[in-house]
Amino acid sequence: MTHSDGVPMPLSLSADGPLAGAVTVPGDKSISHRSLMLGALAVGETIITGLLQGEDVLATAAAMRAMGADIVRGEDGRWHVHGVGVGGLLQPLVALDMGNSGTSTRLLMGLVASHPITATFIGDASLSRRPMGRVIDPLGQMGANITASPGGRLPLMMTGACPAVPLRYVLPVASAQVKSAVLLAGLNTPGDTVVVEPVPTRDHSERMLAGFGAHLTVEAAPEGRIITVRGEAQLRPQTLTVPGDPSSAAFPMVAALVVPGSDIRISNVGLNPTRAGLIDVLRAMGADITLHDLRDVGGEPVADLHVRHAPLTGIEVPPEMVPSMVDEFPILFVAAAFAQGRTIMRGLEELRVKESDRIAAMASGLSAIGVMTQELADGMIITGTGGEAIAGGATVPAHLDHRIAMSLAIAGLHARAPVIVDDARPIATSFPGFVAMMERLGARRQGPAAVH
Ligand code: S3P
């Protein structure tokens, strides 16, 4: 059962006073997906600590099981994966249900593309609206045969090519999912598969492929990063620790910045530079965020964060920072709603094809609760309150999008009347325990009178 089954679950949060305390956030979603996929392709046992047990990652686990991997969660919470080896994926006997997860879909399409199997991919209403042409194009060039629904969408069926044809692919969109799909397809392809990335995106696939023993090189060239993976790879099983997800930490971080008097700590947060743009932007707006005990966990930089309420000032966010914080714009819009003056954010066209059209969803959600927003084709301009509470007093739709649901719920923490998110169930895709964590910091879940 996923969040799109059953009845909607409204959510409204409030804060009677400052947020305080120390919390952790669940494991990184991107790293969790890749841990399961690469573990399932290694021969032997991969052990994963800190795996995100959100619906998106569970969809990846179920799909890898359907293709032959043995994946179990131990009683101690660690996950054990026995892989089938590169080239060893089996024909799935049922359609692969990707739920809400674009990452599962696009990366697994990459894996299927170079195996001699046929797989059908299905997903929920949100995922079935999202473009898959961006992976269909390169994987088709490698020899996979793909029949998609109109517009290059799910449901789709694909048959992998074996042997697949190695490709040199220049990414036409700044997308880690597309990059990863091609690199994963390259694992079981003879010769070298090359991805040229003009604009850098999150590099977990490169770090983890190298960690699992693939021959992978990254070269900085005038045309961008050139990533080469040598095919017919043999992956060695690993013992991994997944750091806390910076994209999840963004929600309590902004909550503490906007609720007056707050002072919180968030421990074990991944700070890979290809992911950590939000912290730089919030600091440029005046945020009080300090990093403690910067360390390495499983090949990723990690730190504990100390966040204190601070007056924020609107800025113009440099568009070149977008890939390093692409999932954080909904919650940055909330920070901007409480800043002094205008925050100008452009270069966000990719936000229109996430779990929802995040520019439209946040522009209408925020304006319904009294925030001054100006929607642009590729971004948003928000004029903030200078720290005052917003009006609130409306029910706002989450559009089947976990990050919209969490962002609007956080906006309601400093509002004169309740902000009611119509359906909080999508939060379980990436952040099970979000409400409990906010309650530990002192937020209150409003009773049924507020939410009905
Ligand atoms: C992800 C890449 C990003 C991001 C998504 C996770 C990944 O998508 O939005 O949440 O794990 O590779 P794009 O590659 O489409 O930008």
pLDDT at residue 1 in the model: 43
Instruction: Please identify every residue annotated as catalytic.
Output: 327
Task: Choose which CATH entry (3.40.47.10, 3.40.50.970, 3.40.920.10, 3.65.10.10) describes domain 29-234.
Answer: 3.65.10.10
Question: Of 47, 125, 111, which Cα lies nearest the Cα of 79?
Answer: 47
Which pLDDT tens digit goes with each residue over 217-271? 999 999 999 999 999 999 999 999 999 999 999 999 999 999 999 999 999 999 9
Residue 449 has pLDDT above 90, yes or no: no
Average pLDDT, stretch 441-448? 88
Atom of ligand 1 nearest to the CA of 353: 15
Q: So where are the chain's domains?
A: 12-27+243-446, 29-234
Residue nearest to atom 10 of ligand 1 (CA): 327
d(CA 115, CA 160): 5
Cα separation values, 130 from 100, 134, 180, 436, Å: 10, 10, 17, 31
Distance of CA 301 to CAs 24, 34, 296, Å? Answer: 16, 17, 5
Nearest ligand 1 atom to the CA of 29 is 11
Q: How far is the CA of 398 from the centre of ligand 1 (A)?
A: 19
Distance in Å, CA 174 to ligand 1 centroid: 10
CA 16 to ligand 1 centroid distance, Å: 35
Q: Determine if ligand 1 sits within 6 Å of the CB of residue 52.
A: no
Is-same-fold flag (12-27+243-446; 29-234)?
yes
pLDDT single digits (tens) 348-370: 999 999 999 999 999 999 999 99
For residue 125, give the 3-state DSSP assignment.
Answer: coil
Q: Is the CB of 327 under 6 A from ligand 1?
A: yes
Q: How far apart are CA 315 and CA 115, in angstroms?
A: 48
Q: CA nearest 370: which of 409, 419, 442?
A: 419
pLDDT at 298 over 70: yes
Cα of 288 from ligand 1 centre, angstroms: 28
The 3-state secondary structure of 130-191 reads CCCHHHHHHHHHCCCEEEEECCCEEEEEEECCCCCCCCEEECCCCCHHHHHHHHHHHHCCCC
Nearest Cα neighbor of 441 from 13, 7, 3 is 13
Judge if the beta carbon of residue 176 lies within 6 A of ligand 1.
yes
- pLDDT for 383 beyond 50: yes
What DSSP line would sit under 76-116, residue for residue? Answer: TS-EEEE---TT-PPPPSS-EE-TT-HHHHHHHHHHHHTSS
326 lines ligand 1 (CB under 6 A): yes
Residue 324, ligand 1, Cβ within 6 A: no
| Best CATH choice for the domain 12-27+243-446 from the list 3.40.50.920, 3.40.630.30, 1.20.58.100, 3.65.10.10 | 3.65.10.10
**6 pLDDT band (50/70/90 cuts)?**
confident
Say whether pLDDT at 448 is over 80: no
Is the CB of residue 36 less than 8 Å from the CB of residue 61?
yes
- Indicate the top mutation candidate among 30, 109, 357 to test ligand 1's pocket, ranked by most ligand atoms within 8 A of CB: 30
Ligand 1 neighbour 180 (Cβ under 6 A) = yes
- Does residue 372 carry a pLDDT above 80? yes
Q: What is the pTM of this model?
A: 0.98
Backbone angles phi and psi of 440, in degrees to 5: -65, -30
Q: Tell me the residue type at 348.
A: L
Ligand 1 centre to CA of 30 (Å) is: 7
- pLDDT tens readout for residues 407-443: 999 999 999 999 999 999 999 999 999 999 999 999 9
320 by DSSP, 3-state: which?
helix
Other Cβ atoms within 10 Å of 445 Cβ, number: 16
Q: Is the pLDDT of residue 452 over 70?
A: no
DSSP state of 3: T
Q: Alpha-carbon Rg of the chain, whole angstroms?
A: 21
Query: Measured between alpha carbons, how far is 211 from 295 in angstroms, rounded to an integer?
Result: 18
Question: Using an 8 Å Cβ cutoff, are 217 and 193 in contact?
Answer: no
